[in-house]
Amino acid sequence: MVGQTVTYTYRIENTGTITLTSISAQDNRLGPVAGIGSTLLPGEATTGTLTHVVTLADLPSPLVNTVVVTGTATGGLNVTSTGNASVTVTEAAYTLNTSVVGQGTVAKAPDQATYTYGQVVTVTATPATGWSFSEWSGACTGSGACVVTMDGDKSVTATFTQNAYTLDVTVVGSGTVAKSPDQATYTYGTEVTLTPTPATGWSFSAWSGACTGSGACVVTMDGNKSVTATFTLNTYLLTVSKTGTGSGSVTSDPSGIDCGSTCSASYDYDTPVTLSAVASPGSTFTGWSSSGCSGTGTCAVTMSEARNVTAEFMLKTYVMTINVEGGGVVTVTVTASANPGWTFAGWSGDVSGLTNPVSIPLTGTNVLTATFTHP
């Protein structure tokens, strides 16, 4: 009847798995109904009443137990009512904010502006070149996989750290290697110049590892690197020369020179070498010259540089006195005998030529020279 107050009872239940928000009810006679609330979690329900005073406009229309649902209700919605009401439900929309510390990128899958309740989002961190992923903070922690279940607004931070690379330098031989810049570690892309300095008596030979050859070494640090610098001990040539009219041999300790046949040899830096001279039969060793050696003893040299030493051998001279009394001439027969390895080359002086033996008359002061050569 007109003027009668009619009460509608309604019940709205979320039977789905997502949170429903912005719920409103609309009575077709009274208009919007307040007091329903704005959030309905999965499994939750809300009830209320609507009152209406029957007017002439309502008659003769019967009161029906229907409710019209509009909007989106992906998670499932069950509405019961004893009245003629309209209900609108808006699904929750959550945001997932990502941020980066350092250099790198973060990707979301799926990549959306908003997410519904219970939606699963995989977040992947990709470091920039020369950087490494360190850890998550916020909705994810640690350094493993990051999977976020959206039951509210969330935020995730990916922290990246700049890589630190080492440059190891090894020395073979005696010398040093300087690094510029000289640091314990280097960031990606840093250029490091290596400079070798040999010790006294040594020479830089070659690089191996991150540098090769014997030229300049510049290492670009895009990972851990190692370089080896090889130094070699210098060697110097010791040469022996023989002069004079005689002959003889020179030997060395340590061995190397046997002159004779081998009159030069190389020795490592700072090696002490002792030279000994032995005259051949019929000759005399008369002394050393050059490289600080003198006298007729041994010659000691230290090989801090290339050195030349001269040994002088002279033929022995003999005096034979012959007295002639009365009238007559004394003739002397002279024979030249070569030592092993030597060859008689001829006479000079009062007699010349290759006749051997040779006879000469003594007429006063006579001079005769026999020359021998060594191949």
pLDDT at residue 11, rounded to an integer: 78
pLDDT tens-place string over residues 302-350: 999 999 999 999 988 777 677 766 677 788 888 888 878 788 889 888 8
In this structure, is residue 186 part of a structural domain?
A: yes
Within a domain: 33 = yes
Per the domain annotation, does 320 fall within a domain?
no
Total structural domains within the chain: 5
pLDDT digits (tens, 9 = 90+) for 196-241: 999 999 999 999 999 999 999 999 999 999 999 999 999 999 999 9
Q: Do 16 and 56 lie in a common domain?
A: yes
Average pLDDT over residues 3-31: 72
pLDDT at 264 over 80: yes
71: its two tokens? 């909007």
70/109 same-domain check: no
Strands 258-259 and 271-279: unpaired
First vs last C-alpha separation in the chain: 154
Do 32 and 22 share a domain, yes or no? yes
**Within-domain flag for 326:** no
What pLDDT digit, counting tens, does each position of 69-91 carry?
665 555 667 777 766 667 777 77
Question: Residues 42, 13: one domain?
Answer: yes
What per-residue confidence (pLDDT) applies to 341?
A: 77
Q: Which of 188, 313, 167 is nearest to 240 (CA)?
A: 313
Residue 362 resides in a domain: yes
CB 283 within 8 A of CB 314: yes
Do 187 and 202 belong together in one domain? yes
> What's the pLDDT band for 361 if we cut at 50, 70, 90?
confident
As beta bridge partners, residue 344 has 372
- Indicate if 10 and 78 belong to the same structural domain: yes
Is the pLDDT score of 22 beyond 70? yes
Pairing of strands 31-33, 96-101: unpaired
What is the DSSP code (8-state) at residue 311? E
Write down the residue that tokens 């510029």 correspond to. Answer: 180
177 with 152, same domain: the answer is no
Q: Which of 209, 233, 257 is the last residue of a domain?
A: 233
- Looking at the fold, whether 84 and 58 belong to one and the same domain comes out as yes
Distance in angstroms (rounded) separating the CA atoms of residues 167 and 187: 11
Asked if the model's pLDDT at residue 195 lies above 90, the reply is yes
How does residue 61 score in pLDDT terms, banded at 50, 70 and 90?
low
Q: What is the arithmetic mean of pLDDT over 261-268?
A: 94
Q: Which residue has the tokens 């300790």?
A: 253
Determine the pLDDT at residue 84. 66
Residue 46 forms part of a structural domain: yes
Starting at the edge strand that comes first in sequence, how are the strands of the sheet with 248-253 ordered? 258-259, 248-253, 271-279, 299-303
The Cα–Cα gap between 18 and 20 comes to 6
Q: What is the pLDDT of residue 72?
A: 57
**How many Å apart are CA 184 and CA 178, to the nearest integer?**
13
Does position 60 have pLDDT exceeding 70, yes or no? no
DSSP strand pairing (225-233 vs 167-172): parallel
- Measure the CA–CA gap between 41 and 132, rounded to whole angstroms: 40
pLDDT: is 98 or 325 the higher one?
Answer: 98
Per the model's pLDDT, the better-predicted residue between 62 and 232 turns out to be 232
Q: What is the pLDDT of residue 126?
A: 98
Average confidence (pLDDT) over 241-247 = 91
pLDDT value for 28: 63
Domain boundary among 44, 73, 91: 91
Looking at 91, 117, 143, the residue that finishes a domain is: 91
Region 47-71: mean pLDDT is 63
- 102 and 73 together in one domain: no
Domain carrying residue 113 = 96-162
Indicate the pLDDT class of residue 375, thresholds 50, 70 and 90.
low
Where does the pLDDT of residue 63 fall: very low under 50, low under 70, confident under 90, or very high at 90 and above?
low
Are 69 and 12 in a shared domain? Answer: yes
Do 262 and 299 meet the contact criterion of CB atoms below 8 Å apart? no
Beta carbons of 16 and 77 less than 8 angstroms apart: yes
Per-residue confidence (pLDDT) for residue 258, from 0 to 100? 95
Q: Are residues 155 and 78 in the same domain?
A: no
In a domain, 325, yes or no: no
Flag whether the pTM goes above 0.75. Answer: no
- Whether 323 is in a domain gets the answer no
Same domain, 309 and 364: no
